[in-house]
A and B are shown apart, each in its own frame.
Chain A
């Protein structure tokens, strides 16, 4: 090798090593930058989760790190849908914030997200198990609609189907056709293996793992708020008759008698959740609906019968059951089910009292 070529090759190697060093340093920097508050502030960053459901792994990881770092022993996990997450309010006015205020030193981690179904909650519990996060203290928030017959959706596992497939193949196998029928992309063969293993391998690279977290955090900082929806109380908004006749709205209160067997996906996954929670403290609450706006739907005898069926179902489990219907004044609602800041405060109080056995 000529002297010039040797010199060039050495320069090439030196630059390549330096580039590799900088790249690794950058990866370490990214890892150090992302903390729990990057992806979570009394609730997970929903825009991040919406863009990429795999980003929930980062939230769970960071919760696990916090538990370990702060040596937390007696924490509570809260899992539910948009009411527990706090749609129409910002995180500082959400259930997660207020329940943490009431619980004092007992930290409550809120892993709720809009549209979460019992199937997602069950899957989430399995994901927490995998990460070593205990669910000895668990609060589950559901809506009446979680038990309504799913003719055309929503999926029984709305967000976390891929994880259920991985963590409980039997349950997934039973739910698969319902999920596929409602838009779940069931990958097989090479396509499945590629998606799964590529994600696992790339997750070792912080740039990949935290890409959504950093982008969403930046966007949230730029927007200056994490508000999703309109926080005004419902009576300040226009609710036309047409809106109240919307099939999606009506299905939310569907009075058709609940089938309380495993044919009902709500029951199917609740059974698994209850099995999982055997011997652990669990509170299940059914969100209140707006007693004024949805008076007609709530007064329906079918609706009331179904609520009684749910009460009977949960009475046979170890869980503390809380039906919040008529417990929250209608002026604390932003729509038919979501709550204002005051509504979230009230909900937190009710839950905390029930958790401590003050109300049952």
Chain B
């Protein structure tokens, strides 16, 4: 069920109404709602999801016992086995075939058409389950008290399809107090505001950009340098607005239910370096990678060369998590190299006079511009249909002295500038959100506020009714 569909809003209204009407039954309301939300995408995949959750719950009971290690290994095997089967089987087969120069014959088997449909949210729920198993095993988290509680935690419809990746320590305590959550109109309004913000980003901005991105990347092998840059810039904003829209709607749904879900984005294109970027982009995934991959690999407590290798390895895994393709792995490696490179750069500057200069505003602005462009370059790997297309586009983009702009690319680059302006505006508004809200409530008469709300509702409904809604990009992961 897409967040940007009428059906979802009817579903959400029903869930919220039942949630507040029957406080003692809230866990049951959410459990059924989560099941319905997931089953809407396919009953088979819902049964698989429910089965995996039940098995992991049963296994997790043994994590604290004498055979805890075995239970952990069993739990991880189930979760990773499920993820690998659905997400990486075909990728693995194709790479073995390519390496050995052979072709397996799958005629008459389930791999006949060389396609396995990916269950929605599998990457997200797998990481969440892994975090749970590891945390309980390390005794950093008190295990879930019931299957019902565990199911609601893992499958909450607000985040089951594309995050944020919730941690047990943050979320389970909230579920344990759920019966006491009272209706607070300020929180409810905040929830609505987040929902509307996400919906506006998706329906107005993303739906406007997407056709151009699809058209350009659809003919990636024939793009000029100007077109390749335009496509990469536009995709940078498409993926940001698309994913942050989903994440903000998830946070908004949380507020409606009196639950706090983590924000996944904080205007990431204002980052001056890779560290900052990963603190602003897909925050819950970055934290997961840090806690469950980078730190276990040795983190920052090992020799420098190992840190660099760990950074690259962790980011490569992050890339592979996104999709079973070499372009995603390369995207991850690219960001790993950027992180390692930046770490090396900081080390080289340390103690030198020029280090002080890096704290100036001019340097910061320059660094933001440079790093934004490095990010845009990385998105080419992420979005291109294949390695050949990605390399071709990058080659075209690199030949800067040959770049010529058509009337269309000129217009689209103006759109890119406007989108960056929106990004800046978002940062400005979010950092002063409390003041704006207060001024809006106190200084603007209710007659004007009502008129503005009516216009917003009308415009968003008109977009919502427009026709087939496009899916969120991260639903495919």
B466's partner among A9, A26, A202, A211 (CB-CB below 8 A) is: A211
A18–B462 touching, CB < 8 Å: no
Kindly list chain A residues whose C-beta atoms are within 8 Å of the C-beta of B451: 22
Write the chain B residue with the least CB distance to A201: B10
B441–A11 touching, CB < 8 Å: yes
A15–B449 touching, CB < 8 Å: yes
Kindly list chain A residues whose C-beta atoms are within 8 Å of the C-beta of B214: none
B465–A208 touching, CB < 8 Å: yes
Q: How far is the CB of B14 from chain A (nearest CB, A)?
A: 13
Kindly list chain A residues whose C-beta atoms are within 8 Å of the C-beta of B7: 194, 198
B185–A23 touching, CB < 8 Å: no
Kindly list chain A residues whose C-beta atoms are within 8 Å of the C-beta of B446: 11, 14-15, 18
Q: How far is the CB of A36 from chain B (nearest CB, A)?
A: 22
B303 within 8 A of A: no
Give per-residue flags for B450-477: 1 if the beta carbon is below 8 A from chain A beta carbons, else 0: 1101100110011001110000000000
**A-side interface residues, number (CB < 8 Å):** 22
Q: How far is the CB of A194 from chain B (nearest CB, A)?
A: 6
B447's partner among A11, A18, A194 (CB-CB below 8 A) is: A18
B6 within 8 A of A: yes
B453–A19 touching, CB < 8 Å: yes
A207–B450 touching, CB < 8 Å: no
Kindly list chain B residues whose C-beta atoms are within 8 Å of the C-beta of A14: 446
Main secondary structure of the interface of A (DSSP, over half): helix
Kindly list chain A residues whose C-beta atoms are within 8 Å of the C-beta of B185: 8-9, 12
Write the chain A residue with the least CB distance to B454: A22
B6's partner among A22, A26, A52, A198 (CB-CB below 8 A) is: A198
A205 to B458, CA, bound (A): 11
B189 within 8 A of A: yes
A202's partner among B6, B441, B453 (CB-CB below 8 A) is: B6
Kindly list chain A residues whose C-beta atoms are within 8 Å of the C-beta of B467: 51-52
Q: How far is the CB of B10 from chain A (nearest CB, A)?
A: 8
A8 to B186, CA, bound (A): 9
Kindly list chain B residues whose C-beta atoms are within 8 Å of the C-beta of A22: 450-451, 454
Q: How far is the CB of B70 from chain A (nearest CB, A)?
A: 42
Q: How far is the CB of A205 from chain B (nearest CB, A)?
A: 8
Give per-residue flags for A9-52: 1 if the beta carbon is below 8 A from chain B beta carbons, else 0: 10110110011011100100000000000000000000000011
A208 to B6, CA, bound (A): 11
Kindly list chain B residues whose C-beta atoms are within 8 Å of the C-beta of A207: 458, 461-462, 465
* Contact sample, A vs B, 16 pairs, CB 8 Å cutoff: A8-B186, A9-B185, A11-B441, A12-B185, A15-B450, A15-B453, A19-B450, A19-B454, A22-B450, A22-B454, A23-B458, A26-B458, A52-B467, A207-B462, A211-B462, A211-B466
- Identify 11 new A-B residue pairs, CB closer than 8 A, beyond the known A15-B453, A52-B467: A11-B446, A12-B185, A15-B446, A18-B447, A19-B453, A19-B457, A22-B451, A202-B465, A207-B461, A208-B461, A211-B466
